[in-house]
Amino acid sequence: MQNILTLCIGNICRSPLAQVLIAREFPDRMVWSAGLGALVGEPADPLSVALAAEQGLDLRAHRAQQVSSLMCQRADLILVMEQHQRAELERRYPQVRGKVFRLGASDIADPFRMPRPAFETAYADIARGVADWAVRIRQLG
């Protein structure tokens, strides 16, 4: 589990937050994020940047990128925010089957264009998912 990819739709709200949280847990591993329909080149949503900053994490340099076959090949583990994202990723890139999992116990709602409370809920769900996955990743080595 040296290469971990986090994935959402636009790659500006949820997956960047998951990326920095996982990277904080595993500073020696390669962690990156992408989107199924990425807003390529766009910075992280200002509310994601603000929530990250409140936790001592910096998303200011983030730029959205579209998921690619090469990214999927490089990843040992791919964590998505919603079950339908897993299905879509496996449809586009069948070779990822077996290494794509949902980050949370249930789908993590997209806070895009929503008020701050939606981002706070998403952040809390992502943080819980990262904490749960950190235990699993450490067990796997």
Please state the separation of Cα 82 from the chain's center in Å.
Answer: 11
Among residues 8, 45, 72, 86, the one annotated as catalytic is 8
CA distances from 141 to 36, 79, 117 (A): 28, 17, 36
For residue 132, indicate whether it is catalytic: no
For residue 72, indicate whether it is catalytic: no
For residue 110, indicate whether it is catalytic: yes
Among residues 29, 63, 107, 110, the one annotated as catalytic is 110
Among residues 14, 45, 86, 125, the one annotated as catalytic is 14
Residues in Cβ contact with 38 at an 8 Å cutoff, skipping those fewer than 6 apart:
9, 10, 11, 64, 65, 66, 67
How long is the chain? 141
Catalytic residues: 8, 14, 110
